[in-house]
Amino acid sequence: MLNFYIETFGCQMNEKDSDLMDQLMRESNFLPTADIGAADILIINTCSIRAKAEQKVYSLLGSLRHRKREDSRFRIAVTGCLAQQEGRKMIARMPHVDVVIGPQSIYDLPRLLKEAEKNRRSVTATDLSTDFTIPSVLPDLKNGSPHKRFVTIMQGCNNYCTYCIVPYTRGRESSRQVEDIMKEARHLVELGVKEITLLGQNVNSYGNDQPVANRTSFPELLRQVARIEGLRRLRFTTSNPKDLSPALMTCFKDLDNLCSHFHLPVQSGSDKILQKMNRKYTVESYLDKVAGLREARSGLALTTDLIVGFPGETEKDFQKTMDLLQSVQFHSAFSFKYSSRPPARSCSFQDDIGEEEKSRRLSILQERQKEITLKRNQEYVGSIMNVMVEGPSRSSDETSGRTDSNHIVNFPCPRKLEPGEIIPVKITRACFNTLRGEILFESDPTRLDLARHASMA
């Protein structure tokens, strides 16, 4: 029996896809291994949203040439967005790769591996269907965290932001049927999952591709999932600000198990750059929605994505992004230098920014955000927060967990806690990336609803 190992690059969608491929491989009588060196089959699940991610994949593939020559049984499958983007070009560049599969075809991974082995030739499956329907596969919990899981509600994107290749690698928006989503979510909770994150490239547009008569909006879906008995926490990602509705904001007022965290990518603080990015909102409308969200849920942690050095971004445009950073005071931000990603439209823009200037701007932005994040984290010191246990801390002998505002908390614990337990922790110290605390009292179900940062001292 052959062993397989999955190496994952990229976003939560890729993590979810890797979990699915792991399950499909096991169901086809392949055995998972935790040792990449012992794998008979290496599956590399790729991202192509930035050039650095692509470089890492090709570097890994290059390092595998010798192993492939030495071991004729060793097989390599490349899946995900870079596989979709490159297709047969990847085989031409890396002829030792056996299988190249796009995101829509991962459900056929075991069959395609067997086909490549049988026919002694590489196989490519990167066709994008315009009417793709996400197959419904009930997940097991044999891989990954036992207490929290992703549930894909849609795939693809219709927005065609000028810098983004997602519509070209994952196709047009395709929403799963509500019944399939609910069946999977209930199944997970019955297996003991306490936290579910709903996934999509733009969850706010969920259902827009369905007939009006049968359409369920994203806020309506959120309410249905939130009502599942035993579900302690509900999250979602990612959202395009242009589709953020008042109905979704109201969910933060009404749903107690909807977590106090919202990731709302803004990308730039300049209306001129937002227009060039084809983002379809303005800084003013973004700020209005931030205000609405904070009115709906006191203590909401807001995070974002930012791109610096987009073609045509002047120093004045960059300063407007810095002004937005100062105005909103995000709890954290993922920030990147713009990189050209064919076939995105921005590749044809002529007014590119030099790498040295991009690096300068990114450094300034990240330093300021680092200061803001620390200041934000310090606001929690003295408060009592409900922390869902993740497991042992990576950096110490303490226990690590996560608040519903998505902050990691490390704390000493006199006993072993199981992942998924929710423990009241008093925050004693703020760091740049984490919080530190101490258990206030042992887990008591009658006292776990202390407050969503309501016990601020």
What is the predicted pLDDT for the residue at 414? 81
**How much is the average pLDDT of 281-309?**
98
Mean pLDDT, rounded, of the chain: 93
What the block records as the tokens of 319 is 């300063």
More confident of the two residues 292 and 144: 292
**What does the pLDDT look like over 265-280, one tens digit per residue?**
999 999 999 999 999 9
Distance CA 370, CA 389 (A): 26
What is the predicted pLDDT for the residue at 185? 97
What is the predicted pLDDT for the residue at 416? 84
Is a pLDDT exceeding 80 seen at residue 4? Answer: yes
**What does the pLDDT look like over 126-156, one tens digit per residue?**
998 877 888 888 988 888 889 999 999 999 9
Closest alpha carbon to 81 in 9, 22, 154, 153: 9
Contacts of 445 (CB under 8 A, 6+ apart): none
**What does the pLDDT look like over 66-122, one tens digit per residue?**
999 999 889 999 999 999 999 999 999 999 999 999 999 999 999 999 999 988 899
What is the predicted pLDDT for the residue at 72? 83
What is the predicted pLDDT for the residue at 442? 54
Q: Are 25 and 4 in contact (CB under 8 A)?
A: yes
- Binned at pLDDT 50, 70 and 90, residue 452 comes out as very low
Distance CA 212, CA 448 (A): 41
**How much is the average pLDDT of 424-446?**
83
Closest alpha carbon to 361 in 413, 316, 330, 401: 316
What is the predicted pLDDT for the residue at 145? 86
Q: Which residue is associated with the tokens 């209005």?
A: 288
Is a pLDDT exceeding 80 seen at residue 456? Answer: no
- Binned at pLDDT 50, 70 and 90, residue 440 comes out as confident
Is a pLDDT exceeding 50 seen at residue 445? Answer: no
Distance CA 99, CA 114 (A): 10
What is the predicted pLDDT for the residue at 447? 43
- Helices 355-378 and 315-328 pack at an angle, to 10 degrees, of 10
Contacts of 49 (CB under 8 A, 6+ apart): 10, 11, 81, 164, 165, 166, 341
CA-only gyration radius of the chain, Å: 23
Contacts of 370 (CB under 8 A, 6+ apart): 432
Closest alpha carbon to 98 in 82, 112, 81, 84: 112
What the block records as the tokens of 48 is 């192509």
Is a pLDDT exceeding 80 seen at residue 443? Answer: no
Is a pLDDT exceeding 60 seen at residue 450? Answer: no
**What does the pLDDT look like over 323-373, one tens digit per residue?**
999 999 999 999 999 999 999 999 999 999 999 999 999 999 999 999 999
pTM of the model: 0.91
Q: How far apart are the first and last CA of the chain?
A: 58
Distance CA 282, CA 284 (A): 5
- Dihedral sign for Cα 355, 360, 363, 365, please: negative
